[in-house]
Structure 1
Amino acid sequence: MADQTHSAVDSLLGLLTGAIKDEARLLGGVQGDIQFIKDEMDSMNGFLLHLTKMETEHDDQLRAWMKQVRDIAYIAQDCMEVYMHDLSPPESGFWALISHLPVLLRTAPARRRLAIKIRELKDRVREVGKRRLRYDITVPAAKPKPKPVSKDSTTDEKREDFLRALEVEDDHRSTGVPSPSFSTAIHLLPCNLPTDAGPVIEKIRVKCVPDHVQSMKMLLRALYAYPHGTKEELESLEDKLNGKAADVPEEVMVFCYSKLYTHYKSCLQYLTAFLEEDSISRTSLVRRWVAEGLLARDEGLQTMEEAGERCFNELVFRGFVCPATPVATGQTIKSCNMESSVRDFVVAISKSENFVSGALPTHFRYQIDIRKIARGRGQPPQKAPLQRQRPWNIWDGLCAVPREPQQDDDDGKLHPMDMVVQKLKNLPEEYRLNVLDLGGCTGLKKRHLKSICKVLSLKYLSLRNTDVSRLPRAINNLRKLETLDVRQTDLRPSDTAHIVLPNLKHLLAGSIRPAGDEIESLSTVQMPRKIGRSMEILRHVQILDGKVELHEVGHLKQLRKLGVVLSGSEDNIKHLLRTISKLSECLRSLSVWITAPPPMAGDGGGVTLDNKDGTDGISSSPPKYLESLNIKYFKGTSTSGSLPPWIEGLKLLSNITLRDTQLSANGLRILGKLESLCCLRLRRDSYTEDNISLKKGEFQKLQFLLIDQVCPTIRIAFEADAAPKLQRVVWTFDKNKKMEIMAGTISGIDNLRSLKELELNGDWIDRQDYVNQALAAHPEHPLLRCSFPDSSPRQ
């Protein structure tokens, strides 16, 4: 909670500092009030900053005081933003005053009300400051908070070894061993733990095994991730487990929760906002954490989103969240969820820490309510009394707000989106709405978006997979917006051209749909004409003028993920390669969808991301930190059958997806030499040979291989010492071809020492005896999954 409050106050101080520097434009009588608010908030911020550096639990009085500080910071920031943007006087000078006189006259009542509001805030700030002294609210004695451990490849490999040790215990249980010893995992615990803690850990293991094996695994994960505990803490846990009515899973989970870093606890509690969701998107969750200000910037990380990714990975490692679908070790988790016991625990801990109301924290409760209403599962808001309604919020409360037209459904009930708009109008003044996720909602009209665009505090707006078709120009009112997600919508491509959002960091667009017999087509929106220099993610956007638009993209020095859709003309390819070269120091992910070149472009030959004349400069300055690459050519335009040579020098490239690239066997050899490649997806027409062969010494880090309707491939071979870490193979056959699984179709399964799962999808003749025998003889006993077009998956 201290991190969140500190973030809110820190943001306000920046605004107040800018306002005071511009003294000439302050209203009479307001300057002194603003200076007082700044001085008081500055003192409070120092106190909060000290709290964020201490590893200590906040008592009830301290949490109540921090909540009051955060509420005041939000209201004050709203006041100052309205004033500085809409109501501030003109620059000094006679003619400037004359031209601004009509505005001054029109806004005089609003400016007077704002001055009164700031004076009231001054009194509230003074009282909150006195209250801390009155109740002797101080920082509890505690040791400094340990910093999150910096991660590198060695750390990740050690964690993988530890997780494998835990999995071995499960394998032993499946073979009839009733009581796992966890001896290997305990031996791999960091040496930071007290040397005499071993006997205590063994006593706890006896209490957890065999009935609560998962609890023991979670405890060992916590001790591995947080090796700063003491023997006394472990003995206290042992005493609690020895109680007659002890709930072992709950007591262990409380211990593990206590070992989370403070801001990680806030991020875990935020998962209560997804109680109605079957699965939670990893990227959406991380961006919402950032928008809500729940994260602290870790050393060695450039962006808050990277801090969010680290937090997510830590929660997965510790067992608080788990992948929604099985993934191989090292494979990126797309979505997650919580097991029922963890979910119940997180809800309970959120309520207990929010002692003021005895319910979920305010920002969780409103997020859940809005989400329920938008999905059509919430209760209609109470009708307002006949007297004057509360204004929309402080920023719109300065002038009259017209009522939005509302529509009833056929049964007479208010439409869910109208209910959302009404809910937004009735939010308390102290509540800062940072996140609005309308993903998957129906009935979203332009008039609803116009109302939503009045919520000036929004930092995250998701319209993903909605039926919205137009984006109003009022979207530019959301000056704080950092994430705009319009994926899987039918927006007009030109609707994003007019976007001018100075703080926008993530623009996510593109709608991938089947088109007849073609597996994928991508429709998307145009590149905004004005892009802020803080842009970090831009995908997927349509490039119409490669020379102008890609030149602008090349100046985005914080851009980490780029996805573009463009025609395969020679000029476009040159401009794209130059842009990639300019972004060589910051680009982490690249997705390129090339459509058919214009009719008059050259001789209509093949397309590749490589300039034969060497003028693009990318060979001398490749994107050396690139981790993910996605390439799709328009069917029939790629005739090179090879990969651009600059890919060979990408030392960190770990994830590759290819479509319609017509890759040859030589291209597969290039991929096999990439030293960091963990995940390879070969989709429709990405490969030209009828035999995919992974040869000796290749794909040393590969853990996941997907082959999806790659024609005319009918055989897969794994040679000895190829892909030693491959855990999961998925092969989907061409839907127009009936396959026969027999000896030789998949050979060398016994060479895949780490294989855990083989999945076969498509219309094939049921002769799986060979595969079953090969898997049965495998020392890891991999799982076989089969699905057919006319039935559910078989195992």
Structure 2
Amino acid sequence: MARMLMKGTYNILIPLVLIYGIQAFEICPKLQGYLLLIDDVWSVETWENIRNWLPYTKGSKIIVTTRFQAVGAACSERDGTDSLHTIKVLSEANSKSLFNLGVSESRSSKYTIDMEKEEVHEEIWKYCGGLPLAIVTMAGHVACNPTKNNDDWNKMCRTLFPEQVVPLTLDGVTRILDYCYNDLPPDLKTCSLYLSIFPKGLTISKKRLTRRWISECFVTEKQGLSAEEVAETYFNQLISRKIIRPEDHSSNGKVKSFKVHDMILEYIVSKSSEENFITVVGGHWLMPAPSNKVRRLSMQSSGPKHVNLTKGMNLSQVRSLTVFGSQNRRLPFHSFNNGIIQVLDLEGWKGMTDKHLNDICKMLVLKYLSLRRTEVHEIPSKIEKLQYLETLDIRETDVEVLPKAFGQLKRLCSMLGGSKTPKKALKLPHEKNKEPMKALRILSGIEINEDSTAVASLHQLTGLRKLAIYKLNIQEGGQTFKQLRSSIEYLCSCGLQTLAINDEGCDFIDSLDTMSAPPRYLVGLELSGKMERPPKWIEDLNNLYKLTLSVTVLRTETFKLIQNLPKLFTLTFTLSVQKDDRDIVDILEENKLLTDREIVVPPGGFKSLKLLRFFATLVPRLSFAVTKEEVMPALERIDMRFQAFEGIYGIETLKSLQEVHLSVGNQADEITKFLVDELKDSPNHLAKEYAEKWPQIITD
């Protein structure tokens, strides 16, 4: 981004004040001298309004940053241009490179563009004034409109840039955003406006967004695709159009979370306010009070000045309420019409208590309810009144057991509970379901013990696509043991796609080896805890994309068993049981003895594997076979988290490897620390041809 900075020299100011927010303009006039930093001013008008508030005090200094040359000029006009420091915009070469990269990233089989033939593309990036936001936004627009011809692009350039090639102002960038927004299909317009619910700078979960789209009926089944698949398609289109940018990726390679650029978000918030689509209260944006009834309310500030900002608003038509901020505050539940609220997202709200659930259970058409990271302890039986509920998220709460009434939620699709760190699980109700929950697709974070009578009806959940059991406490060979095994085998035959089981001592996972048929629909499999051996049928899972196994089966034979899985993207070896478990240590030592104290990754196979991870107290010596045949040819990254480490060898032969991440525990011994340092220093002792191929070693 182009940024200008007012600069100058000054003596020590007394008092020297660093203030964030609008309060600065109230305090500065009272000071004898001040140093004020104002970051990211977007327009001359905004600067003039700020300047009129500030006194001219001898010895004071104002530092302003902006993306726009016109703002920089306005800030420095009284002092001369010597106080203006311009950070150069992108050169023509870099602008063109960024534009072409943006187009390339946004391409797919649906959007293919011949850059050689489309000479008008050059004109587009030249008009963007070297501003990265403008360049990547136009690149996304070009990539997603493959049918447009030269005349179309020329017409667009004349519309957007009537002044030819001049430095872009805020108005120019806004014109670009406006043009790209108006070009969106109606469904994507709605989905992009929905982004205004989230605060500036927030890292947003993809699943949180797409589940809410579905609950708001913005996304439905279409042309043989499920609502979830359509939502995934829409989400990817927003990425291609550069409306959102990926922040983190899941271990399956898909985007896990994202952010929205500040200027794009401000545009979306403004557009959303104009259309009375979403009302934002508090937070970064100063939006006018809605003249119409509020339909979707986003409460973004936890400061005391914003507590009563809903006062005077007509909240009787609110159908969606989202609360951000961790402070304890009162919500105007009494102002809502319980008969129309469909989405209630209170994730992270510290004011949430069990008594609020009585009000929530009156919201009879509620579809999406998130109480994640709140202080709720118990779900009341009254929840059975929420007959339209599709998503219930109570992860990272103190809820330990579901009520008997849980089975009455016939439209529930996603039941999300428990927590991974620390490991906590949600007990199923002590009652058999009289009628199966046929709509249930995700059941995650549960605990199964000998008292779990609901296990007897688990096989009735034939629509289940993900089952994640965080804790098992059942007797080997007992009735619950047999019922659970039978249910899992049956659900796998019905289309279960993701199965996760953490077994710390029931020998349940080992019993899965004798399943009558391989679970061929699985794309994700996680078997953690104590295992003697991986199920042999794993080698037949041709659709498997993500595999997690206990480190207790980390041996050469395991790599040989799974090396021919054609789609395997991520392979993880992990250990979640207690560190002082001597059985685990004995198993690891025995595994090493089987292959001369070294685990060898054989050549050939693993054609699609890109991520290899080891999360355990002890990571034994690991070697990649050095032969003429390639070893893990697509592998890009290795992650290791450990207390003790015995070394990793042969990584210079991994032609695609880019990074090795090592997370060393604070109780690591001197040998482990020495081996880590040796690994980092290895390129200095290798021949040049190997040193140049050495991956980046990152430690923390």
Normalising by the residue count of structure 2, what TM-score does the alignment of the two structures yield? 0.69
Go from structure 1 to structure 2 and tell me whether the alpha carbon gap of 1:587 and 1:507 turns closer, same or farther (over 3 Å shift). same
Q: Distance in 1 between matches of 2:278 and 2:204?
A: 28
3-state SS of the aligned residue for 1:543?
Answer: strand
Q: Residue in 1 aligned with 2:372?
A: 464
Q: Residue in 1 aligned with 2:23?
A: none
Q: Residue in 1 aligned with 2:298?
A: 368
Q: Residue in 1 aligned with 2:153?
A: 234
Q: Residue in 2 aligned with 1:589?
A: 498
Q: Which runs of 5+ in 1 are unaligned?
A: 1-172, 396-414, 515-520, 598-605, 788-795
Q: Residue in 1 aligned with 2:636?
A: 727
1:288 Cα deviation after fit? 1.0
Write 1 or 2 for the structure with the bigger share of helix: 1
Contact 2:144 2:241 in 1 (8 A): yes
Q: Distance in 2 between matches of 1:713 and 1:360?
A: 62
- Pairing 1:625–2:514 present: no
Go from structure 1 to structure 2 and tell me whether the alpha carbon gap of 1:499 and 1:221 turns closer, same or farther (over 3 Å shift). same
Q: Name the amino acid aligned to 1:678.
A: F
Q: Residue in 2 aligned with 1:313?
A: 236
Contact 2:134 2:173 in 1 (8 A): yes
- Pairing 1:331–2:331 present: no
1:217 Cα deviation after fit? 4.2
Q: Residue in 1 aligned with 2:15?
A: none
Q: Residue in 2 aligned with 1:204?
A: 124
Equivalences for 1:763-778 in 2 at 5 Å? 763=668, 764-765=673-674, 766-767=677-678, 768-770=680-682
Q: Residue in 1 aligned with 2:472?
A: 566
Q: Residue in 1 aligned with 2:66?
A: none
Equivalences for 1:71-470 in 2 at 5 Å? 180=97, 198-208=118-128, 211-213=130-132, 215-239=134-158, 240-241=160-161, 243=163, 244=166, 246-247=168-169, 249-275=173-199, 278-301=202-225, 303-325=226-248, 331-354=253-276, 366-369=296-299, 372=301, 378-380=306-308, 419-420=330-331, 423-427=332-336, 432-470=340-378
Cα shift readout 1:420-443 (whole Å, capped 9, x = no counterpart)? 1xx2321369x9422111222224
Q: Distance in 2 between matches of 1:731 and 1:579?
A: 35
Which residue, out of 605, 611, 615, partners 1:708?
A: 615
Contact 2:307 2:329 in 1 (8 A): no
Q: Residue in 2 aligned with 1:400?
A: none
3-state SS of the aligned residue for 1:566?
Answer: strand
Equivalences for 1:398-547 in 2 at 5 Å? 419-420=330-331, 423-427=332-336, 432-493=340-401, 495=403, 498-514=406-422, 521-527=423-429, 529-530=432-433, 531-544=436-449
1:469 Cα deviation after fit? 1.1
Normalising by the residue count of structure 1, what TM-score does the alignment of the two structures yield? 0.61
Write 1 or 2 for the structure with the bigger share of strand: 2
Q: Distance in 2 between matches of 1:356 and 1:376?
A: 22
1:184 Cα deviation after fit? 8.7
Q: Distance in 2 between matches of 1:593 and 1:716?
A: 28
1:265 Cα deviation after fit? 2.1
Q: Residue in 2 aligned with 1:608?
A: 509
Contact 1:585 1:623 in 2 (8 A): no
Q: Distance in 2 between matches of 1:393 and 1:341?
A: 29
1:498 Cα deviation after fit? 4.9
Go from structure 1 to structure 2 and tell me whether the alpha carbon gap of 1:363 and 1:712 turns closer, same or farther (over 3 Å shift). farther
Q: Name the amino acid aligned to 1:679.
A: T
Contact 1:709 1:733 in 2 (8 A): yes
Contact 1:281 1:335 in 2 (8 A): yes
Q: Residue in 2 aligned with 1:753?
A: 655
Go from structure 1 to structure 2 and tell me whether the alpha carbon gap of 1:290 and 1:437 turns closer, same or farther (over 3 Å shift). same
Equivalences for 1:671-750 in 2 at 5 Å? 671-684=562-575, 688-689=591-592, 691-709=598-616, 711-717=618-624, 719=626, 721-734=630-643, 737=644, 745-750=647-652
Contact 1:446 1:468 in 2 (8 A): yes
- Pairing 1:646–2:537 present: yes
Q: Distance in 2 between matches of 1:779 and 1:213?
A: 31
Go from structure 1 to structure 2 and tell me whether the alpha carbon gap of 1:372 and 1:529 turns closer, same or farther (over 3 Å shift). farther
Cα shift readout 1:252-308 (whole Å, capped 9, x = no counterpart)? 44444344332122122211111156321222211111111111423231x312222
- Identity rate, percent: 25
Contact 1:630 1:658 in 2 (8 A): yes
Q: Distance in 2 between matches of 1:194 and 1:677?
A: 32
Q: Distance in 1 between matches of 2:278 and 2:424?
A: 49
Q: Distance in 1 between matches of 2:613 and 2:215?
A: 34
3-state SS of the aligned residue for 2:500?
Answer: strand
1:677 Cα deviation after fit? 0.8
Q: Residue in 2 aligned with 1:554?
A: 459
1:628 Cα deviation after fit? 1.0
Q: Name the amino acid aligned to 2:662.
A: L
1:579 Cα deviation after fit? 2.4
Q: Which runs of 5+ in 2 are unaligned?
A: 1-89, 280-286, 320-325, 576-583
Q: Distance in 1 between matches of 2:117 and 2:271?
A: 28
Q: Name the amino acid aligned to 1:379.
A: V
Q: Distance in 2 between matches of 1:343 and 1:780?
A: 41
3-state SS of the aligned residue for 2:499?
Answer: strand
Q: Distance in 2 between matches of 1:292 and 1:499?
A: 24
Contact 1:469 1:490 in 2 (8 A): yes
Contact 1:482 1:505 in 2 (8 A): yes
1:221 Cα deviation after fit? 3.8
Contact 1:566 1:594 in 2 (8 A): yes
Q: Distance in 2 between matches of 1:277 and 1:206?
A: 29
Go from structure 1 to structure 2 and tell me whether the alpha carbon gap of 1:355 and 1:670 turns closer, same or farther (over 3 Å shift). closer
Count of aligned pairs? 552
Q: Residue in 2 aligned with 1:18?
A: none
3-state SS of the aligned residue for 1:608?
Answer: helix
Cα shift readout 1:742-773 (whole Å, capped 9, x = no counterpart)? xxx33333333333322121152444221577
Q: Distance in 2 between matches of 1:458 and 1:491?
A: 20
Go from structure 1 to structure 2 and tell me whether the alpha carbon gap of 1:460 and 1:326 turns closer, same or farther (over 3 Å shift). closer
Contact 2:293 2:315 in 1 (8 A): no
Q: Distance in 1 between matches of 2:116 and 2:242?
A: 26
Go from structure 1 to structure 2 and tell me whether the alpha carbon gap of 1:671 and 1:194 turns closer, same or farther (over 3 Å shift). closer
Contact 1:680 1:704 in 2 (8 A): yes
Q: Residue in 2 aligned with 1:112?
A: none
3-state SS of the aligned residue for 2:424?
Answer: strand
Cα shift readout 1:397-426 (whole Å, capped 9, x = no counterpart)? xxxxxxxxxxxxxxxxxx976721xx2321
Go from structure 1 to structure 2 and tell me whether the alpha carbon gap of 1:553 and 1:378 turns closer, same or farther (over 3 Å shift). farther
Q: Distance in 2 between matches of 1:563 and 1:290?
A: 22
Go from structure 1 to structure 2 and tell me whether the alpha carbon gap of 1:496 and 1:771 turns closer, same or farther (over 3 Å shift). farther
Q: Name the amino acid aligned to 2:415.
A: L
342-351 or 502-511, larger mean C-alpha shift: 342-351
Q: Residue in 2 aligned with 1:135?
A: none
1:661 Cα deviation after fit? 4.2
Contact 2:570 2:610 in 1 (8 A): yes
Q: Residue in 1 aligned with 2:51?
A: none
Cα shift readout 1:38-61 (whole Å, capped 9, x = no counterpart)? xxxxxxxxxxxxxxxxxxxxxxxx
Q: Name the amino acid aligned to 1:705.
A: L
1:512 Cα deviation after fit? 3.1
